[in-house]
Amino acid sequence: MDNYYVRMENVDLYYPSHIYNATTLKQEVFSLLKLQKKKEKLDDVHALKNFNLYIKEGEKLGVIGHNGAGKSTLLKTIGGIYPIKSGQLEVKGEIRSLFDLALGFDLESTGRENIMYRGLLLGETPKRIKQQEQEIINFAELGEFIDYPIRSYSSGMLIRLAFAISTSIDGEILLLDEVIGAGDAAFAVKAKERMMGLMGKAKILVLVSHDLKTIEEVCNRVILLKNGRIIKDGKPSEVIEEYQNSFK
Ligand SMILES: Nc1ncnc2c1ncn2[C@@H]1O[C@H](COP(=O)(O)OP(=O)(O)OP(=O)(O)O)[C@@H](O)[C@H]1O
């Protein structure tokens, strides 16, 4: 048995539609007065269909496919964010998700305080966060702004801080969604280097990206998704080629 793995068997995931099916009072009145047709009921979105996948230790899995194929859904399902409707999902290893980088940020608190909040949210202890604090501040290049409320930051400064915090902690299973190269050109070079280090250390990597060059550079296995299903699984060069052919 592998020390680290992700196993999905016959997994089905639906996004519930009831939120979109709710009608407003205005819509009700208009339809009663026959001024507007009654809203058609929408079906739940079946985003992962009878999905089977085993990712073993050492695998750097790239996930590619057209918009709406189910790539982000897959990542969030592995990350335990969405409950599955049926099937089995088993994860062995500690997960570090790098999507929603700014999750848990409080705009009224300072950068320094936010390092603590976000670090705790990522599962770190206060002591460990304090030890990492200076390195995060240096990496984010925020200088004295670290003691200002983050409401005063530019969007680039916010991204740099979010990125520096999220990438300061490594995980055994790393889930990544298009986060390589955050910030301006100079920062992007630094960010990519840091990301590469993190990806190198992970026991398992799942990388969702439209950047096929990075996928080929980083991954040793790629899956191509279409309508919530895997339609090809194998060597990066072969799977990427099949995907590119689908544009022709
Ligand atoms: N919150 C949601 N509520 C309802 N349907 C959703 C929701 N999020 C995604 N979907 C649907 O689930 C399907 C898969 O979406 P997903 O975001 O996983 O695709 P993706 O492959 O990551 O696409 P992209 O390349 O555009 O980011 C799509 O049909 C999408 O409309």
Which atom belonging to ligand 1 lies closest to the Cα atom of 45?
5
pTM of the model: 0.85
ipTM of the prediction: 0.97
Q: Confirm whether 165 is domain-assigned.
A: no
Q: Is 48 in the pocket of ligand 1 (CB under 6 A)?
A: no
Q: Confirm whether 48 is domain-assigned.
A: yes
Query: Cα of 153 to ligand 1 centre, how many Å?
Result: 30
Which atom belonging to ligand 1 lies closest to the Cα atom of 66?
25
Q: Is 71 in the pocket of ligand 1 (CB under 6 A)?
A: yes
CATH code of the domain containing 9: 3.40.50.300
Distances (CA, A) of 16 to 25, 45, 52, 67, 69: 22, 7, 22, 20, 17
Q: Confirm whether 135 is domain-assigned.
A: no
Q: Is 77 in the pocket of ligand 1 (CB under 6 A)?
A: no
Q: How many domains are contained in the chain?
A: 1
Could you list the pLDDT tens digit for every one of the 248 residues in the chain?
Answer: 789 999 999 999 999 876 666 667 777 777 777 777 766 777 888 999 999 999 999 999 999 999 999 999 999 999 998 889 999 999 999 998 887 777 778 999 999 999 999 888 888 899 999 999 999 999 999 999 999 999 999 988 998 998 899 888 878 999 998 766 566 778 888 888 888 888 888 999 999 999 999 899 999 999 999 999 999 999 999 999 999 998 87
